[in-house]
Amino acid sequence: MSGQQAVLKLPEVSPEFKEVEIAPEVLLAGDHPALLPMADNLSSMGVFVTLVHPFGEIEELLTPIRGLLEADEKVSKDYAFLCEKIAANKSVKVVNGAVIDEVSGWWGNFSVRIMQEEAPVTLNVSGLAFAFKGDSVIPDSFASENVKGFYEFLSQFDARKGVLKETANPLKRVVFVLDVESRDEKWASVAALRFGAYLKGFGSQVFILCKDMKVSVDDMEREYREAREAGILFFKYEELPVIEGSDQNLRLV
């Protein structure tokens, strides 16, 4: 699905919202365990994820929190389940033993070169997120005055560091499709509200499709109200939209 234009059909909506672009792919890179829940939840919103890390196996991303895992059996089981879930998730492509060598472009249209054992690979993706505990995974050529550093990106996953490149040409429209009946309904909703509000700051139009928006927990009522005030549009569906069609003509229906 990488690099393709996906179209979302919205029935019974004003004509200007009949077809909306969605971000088909996001690249996550680094050595931080936060990459795992980030990948899981972004994929649950209908986003295709490429997860790049420098280790031989995805489980090695948990090394920085090994002490916590040994001390808390529940947390250990949750992360073990998460690793298995991501490995089986067809919407998440894991690239082991690789690093980001070069980044160019802008929000909505990045070109990323990945260095791995076989051969360098270049991907075109709509969004980037970096989370790292050790050495920075951001290429020096990309870390310039044109890069906006930010903290608390999907902060419930403790992704402490990341970057988005400033641009005068942001992705025009972004759609989050939530399955709120899943076990991660709260996290998916929080991520969509927070990330959607962040994208609004880049001038993007943001839409959230859901069966129901659970707003009765923690601070979600406030975040939901702020999202509405920021101009994020919400639509409800009866059946979860799915992606169908050829690579050249993807549609969410």
Q: What is the CATH number of the domain that holds 48?
A: 3.50.50.60
Q: What is the pTM of this model?
A: 0.54
pLDDT of residue 207: 79
| Domain, as residue range, for 159 | 24-169
pLDDT of residue 151: 31
- Residues 72 and 93 both lie in one domain: yes
- Residues 1 and 103 both lie in one domain: no
- Residues 160 and 210 both lie in one domain: no
- Residues 37 and 112 both lie in one domain: yes
Structure tokens at 117: 């054992």
- Residues 183 and 126 both lie in one domain: no
- Given a cut of 90, whether residue 248 has pLDDT beyond it is no
Closest by CA position to 153, among listed 193, 189, 125, 195: 195
Please report, for the domain that includes residue 213, its CATH number: 3.50.50
Of 124, 154, 169, the one marking the end of a domain is 169
* Of the ranges 8-17, 23-32, 57-66, 216-225, the best mean pLDDT one: 57-66
Residue type, 87: A
- Residues 90 and 103 both lie in one domain: yes
Number of domains making up the chain: 2
Going by C-beta distance under 8 Å and a sequence separation of 6 or more, which residues neighbour residue 85? 40
pLDDT of residue 188: 62
185 pLDDT band, cuts 50/70/90, is low
Of 169, 193, 218, the one marking the end of a domain is 169
Say how far apart CA 61 and CA 158 lie, in whole Å.
14
**27-31, 166-170, 245-249 — which is least confidently predicted?**
245-249
- Residues 234 and 247 both lie in one domain: yes
Going by C-beta distance under 8 Å and a sequence separation of 6 or more, which residues neighbour residue 226? 197
- Residues 175 and 119 both lie in one domain: no
Say how far apart CA 100 and CA 231 lie, in whole Å.
34
